[in-house]
Amino acid sequence: MNIEVDYLGTIDKFKNLIEKLDRLKGVNGILIFSCDANNFDKTEVDKILKNTSKPILGGVFPAIIYGNKKLNKGTIIVGLENKPYINIIKNISNSSTDFESQLLLYQKKLIKIKTMFVFVDGLANRINDFVHSIFINYGLEYNYIGGGAGSLSFVQKPCIYTNQGLLEDCAVIAGVASKIGIGVAHGWSEIGGPYKVTKSDKNVIYELDYKPAFEVYKTVVDKCSDNKICKENFFEIAKAFPFGINMIGSEKIVRDPFAVNNDNSLVCVGEVPQESYIYVLNGNVKSLLNAAKTALDMGKQYFSENNNHKYSLFIDCISRVLFLGNEFQNELDIVNQKDIPLFGALTIGEIANSKKDYLEFYNKTAVVGNFENI
């Protein structure tokens, strides 16, 4: 595997590195992680991507990871040894988009596939439906790892890399023969609830226990926060108080509320099903760092001592970074292992499972994927 890094995030270097890997023997696919702050021109990017002969996948993220460094600007381009078999699902947010038929058609290509990369526009409206459709059609036959691309401006724009160009409101799935061990953990604990979601629509919660969602949420948060939460400071305070959706036999699925509407509804990253039960969660630096260590250790369990992994992919939620602040460096230091290349992305939601649990779209969660090869 070849890992190329541009620390400046220029379009010229982007072009040069992709052309280099496209020519290189032994490279059979190209994985791209770039920063939103690069501000790449879509027309220029599309021209480069469409002229590339090898399969492309990846996304634009709020920040990316290389070794124990967080890059707010730059690009990581990985030359994959194992050919990725690509499926592009467009119009994710459209209620008429038939995920099942496209996934079943794609399944014919998945001979000898062990791992699925899944990258999706993190601001699309039907991510949960899409992820659940993947699981319903493919089950536990594969390991999955990926996440939501996009910008912390929360303005939806083209953010998924494909051979068709830089796309918006879509997802790219890539099956590879690589073996991977995956760990998933978050470190958040209950401080309020459970509350029944009595009215919601996709990623908007209107009512909890038949009351306006923000009123219920505020009652809990104000007891634990130094400052009273309101519409003006909502994002700053809410980053420490996510929701947790109850799941049978696994950790709660975390949902990030990031905005409050005038009608006191709450907008989340990812859907919150009506009739589900949710908790308000809180954590601290220690619990989140312990979770990162847990995710790393879980990902190692797949490999015996004599068959150690060679590469690590870290998919971590950008909202964990916002919560941890300067302590995020400690999280990187925990996950970055000696002599094992680490790369990854700080995402708007995380996608993972380890052939054991239901495939989910997470928020505020650390995901470590350890590869034998890639």
pLDDT band at 338 (very low <50, low <70, confident <90, very high): confident
Strand partners, 4: 77
Angle separating helix axes 285-300 and 328-335, nearest 10 degrees:
20
Query: In this model, does residue 1 exceed pLDDT 80?
Result: no
Contact 228, 161 (CB under 8 A): no
Order of strands across the sheet that contains 75-80: 2-6, 75-80, 29-35, 56-61, 160-162, 165-167
* pTM of structure: 0.93
Query: In this model, does residue 222 exceed pLDDT 90?
Result: yes
pLDDT band at 372 (very low <50, low <70, confident <90, very high): confident
The pLDDT value given to residue 22: 98
Query: In this model, does residue 237 exceed pLDDT 60?
Result: yes
Locate 339 and state its tokens. 């002599």
Residue ranges per domain, the chain? Answer: 2-185+288-371, 189-282
The pLDDT value given to residue 368: 96
pLDDT band at 247 (very low <50, low <70, confident <90, very high): confident
Strand partners, 281: 190
Q: Is 293 exposed, middle or buried (0-12, 13-18, 19+ CB in 10 A)?
A: middle
Chain segment 86-118, per-residue pLDDT in tens: 999 999 999 999 999 999 999 888 888 999 999
Three-state SS at 180: strand
The pLDDT value given to residue 261: 97
In whole angstroms, give the CA distance from residue 107 to residue 122. 24
Nearest 5°: phi and psi at 129?
A: -60, -40
Three-state SS at 125: coil
Q: Which residue has the higher pLDDT, 213 or 251?
A: 213
Q: Per-residue pLDDT averaged across 110-139, rounded? A: 93
pLDDT band at 310 (very low <50, low <70, confident <90, very high): confident
Chain segment 11-40, per-residue pLDDT in tens: 999 999 999 999 999 999 999 999 999 999
Contact 333, 314 (CB under 8 A): no
In whole angstroms, give the CA distance from residue 374 to residue 370. 10
Chain centroid to Cα 347, Å, comes to 5
The pLDDT value given to residue 251: 66
Locate 366 and state its tokens. 């650390």
Nearest 5°: phi and psi at 198?
A: -85, -15
In whole angstroms, give the CA distance from residue 203 to residue 87. 25
Mean pLDDT of the chain: 94
Chain segment 285-300, per-residue pLDDT in tens: 999 999 999 999 999 8
Locate 173 and state its tokens. 């799935």
CA distances from 34 to 51, 242, 272, 356 (A): 19, 27, 29, 31
Query: In this model, does residue 306 exceed pLDDT 60?
Result: no
In whole angstroms, give the CA distance from residue 122 to residue 159. 9
The pLDDT value given to residue 357: 75
Locate 142 and state its tokens. 């594969």
Query: In this model, does residue 373 exceed pLDDT 80?
Result: no
H/E run at residue 194: strand 189-201
The pLDDT value given to residue 351: 96
The pLDDT value given to residue 305: 62
Locate 158 and state its tokens. 């083209």
Locate 65 and state its tokens. 């990871």
Q: Per-residue pLDDT averaged across 50-78, rounded? A: 98
Query: In this model, does residue 166 exceed pLDDT 90?
Result: yes
**319-342 in b/e burial notation, b at 16+ Cβ within 10 A?**
bbbbbbeeebeebbebbbbeeebb
Residues of the chain with pLDDT > 90, as a percent, come to: 86
List the one residue out of 155, 99, 106 whose CA is nearest residue 127: 99
Which amino acid belongs to residue 281? L
pLDDT band at 252 (very low <50, low <70, confident <90, very high): confident
